[in-house]
Amino acid sequence: MARNGVQLITYADRLAGDLPGLARLLGSPPWSAAFTGVHILPFFTPFDGADAGFDPVDHTAVDPRLGTWEDVGAVARGRDLMVDVIVNHVSAGSAAFRDWQERGDASPAAGMFLTMATVFPYGATEDELARIYRPRPGLPFTPYTVAGERRLVWTTFTPQQVDLDVAHPGARAYLDAILDAIAGAGATLVRLDAVGYAVKTPGETCFMTRDTFAFIEEFTAHARARGLEVLVEVHSYYRRQVEIGAAVDRVYDFALPPLVLHALATGDGEPLARWLEVRPANAVTVLDTHDGIGVIDVGADQTAPDAPGLLPPADLDALVDRIHASSGGTSRLATGAAASNLDLYQVNCTFYDAMGGDDHAYLAARAIQFFTPGVPQVYYVGALAGRNDVALLQQSGVGRDINRHRYTPDEVARELGRPVVAALLALCTWRSELPVFDGGFAFALEDGVLTMSWRAGDDEAQLTVDLLSHRAGLWWRHDGRDGSTDDLLADPPVLEG
């Protein structure tokens, strides 16, 4: 089981150049003390395809430009390692898909890839097609030529990402081979990317249905047999997240980022408090990831709009407008239909820019994240309190690239010298070293002040945050010694002994 310390989320190339570089960076201070684990975003062949590695041509091979499986193992040594398993799709350039295109039913890969006819063998009505839940506009089909015939291949995300039939023996063998490679490298956890869309059932939404849960349960058993925990990645209605949490090892808390932003901008902590009452404790907490800041996770149920969300529509609209204003309008350039971005339920912005570059507010947000039950993860741009990379956005035309900066070694060294970055990494170290977070949790909200506390035996830790002023204080007792700070920026917490 993964240790309850802070984990880093990062691309190997965008922070440290390659996998050996990442191993060196994580093995040196202040990174080595701050992070007990790392989630390496896709390093498979190719790591720089149509969707930044989430469209693998060969999911079992490390891209040689980044290193080898031995290099992955070196990163895993002495820390928890999370690796992605992209269960929903592969690249249209994969050997299996190209062979099926060429040979059709004579290919060993015949049946591995979903088509409209696979799911709707007798045709689909307009109502059935309209029922399909979509993360992006339009229908989920792309015409491809297969053995001389035009076929409508199921493509949930982009035309280059062709969906697998996860019930097909060939697809199951393929997914097992990925698990074998990942486990063999010493990984601790796997993240099921886009698993909510992996099972298509005619007449249903094709998103997080009973069949999806059955697939997750079966896949989780295969992963556990190899010593791997499973994290499920799903953006969805908050009550569905609670349901998912009860059925899996770990689930992302994607509701936390917008609720923290709302609380620290308005002083209204009630929506956050309501979420703390019901959320799954077996969560991985995040404020930022390689994708955008989700808003669907706190809104009304997209499949049943009469089911209200954690934030009403007016507050949700105000939240999005504040992010755009706080970022000086740069996030608006990267969000919605802008910049070829199709993730319409996410705002593309660094979390530091979403908070207007306010160091005290940013550290208060991180402290709330670290006190929320679960294993906290910090995205590499967030670890360096990064700003929106408008130049990269303009260069690539991909909205999410605004939060995917490519750091040089000199930049990393320079950013580590900023007080807010030093304070955040000190807070990460404090959180990673204090065992009290495996104990019992309590919280209270009174007059705009959020108090969060943990107790394990004689050890205690308490956080108080004035949501409007952003003043945050810590008090703790560990091994009979007390410590405290009233200013996370000027006086970051340090454990004695």
Q: What does the pLDDT look like over 429-452, one tens digit per residue?
A: 999 999 999 999 999 999 999 999
Map out the domains of the chain with their CATH numbers: 7-89+167-437 (3.20.20.80), 95-163 (3.90.400.10), 439-485 (2.20.220.10)
Catalytic residue from among 84, 163, 193, 288? 193
What is the total residue count of the chain? 497
The predicted model scores a pTM of 0.94
Catalytic residue from among 165, 204, 233, 401? 233
48 is catalytic: no
149 is catalytic: no
Whole-angstrom distance, CA of residue 481 vs CA of residue 495: 9
* Confidence tier at 337 by pLDDT (50, 70, 90): low
* Confidence tier at 344 by pLDDT (50, 70, 90): low
- Alpha-carbon Rg for the chain in angstroms: 22
Average pLDDT over residues 389-402: 93
Distinct helix (H) and strand (E) counts, the chain: 20, 21
Structure tokens at 156: 């949930």
Confidence at residue 342, expressed as pLDDT on a 0 to 100 scale: 42
List the alpha helices (DSSP H) in 327-447.
330-333, 351-354, 359-371, 380-383, 390-396, 409-416, 419-433
Whole-angstrom distance, CA of residue 183 vs CA of residue 200: 28
Whole-angstrom distance, CA of residue 15 vs CA of residue 411: 10
Confidence at residue 296, expressed as pLDDT on a 0 to 100 scale: 86
Residue 295 has pLDDT above 90, yes or no: no
Whole-angstrom distance, CA of residue 391 vs CA of residue 403: 11
CB 59 within 8 A of CB 149: no
* Confidence tier at 497 by pLDDT (50, 70, 90): low
Whole-angstrom distance, CA of residue 322 vs CA of residue 309: 19
Whole-angstrom distance, CA of residue 469 vs CA of residue 270: 17
* % of the chain exceeding 70 in pLDDT: 97
Place of tokens 């609209």: 317
Residue 456 parent element (H or E): strand 449-456
* Confidence tier at 243 by pLDDT (50, 70, 90): confident
What does residue 310 show for φ and ψ, rounded to 5 degrees? -75, -25
Average pLDDT over residues 392-404: 93
Q: Collapsing DSSP states into helix, strand and coil, what is residue 270?
A: helix
Any bridge partners for residue 152, and if so which? Answer: 143
Q: SS3 string of 275-322?
A: HHHHCCCCEEECCCCCCCEECHHHCCCCCCCCCCCCCCHHHHHHHHHH
Average pLDDT over residues 182-197: 94
Confidence at residue 370, expressed as pLDDT on a 0 to 100 scale: 98
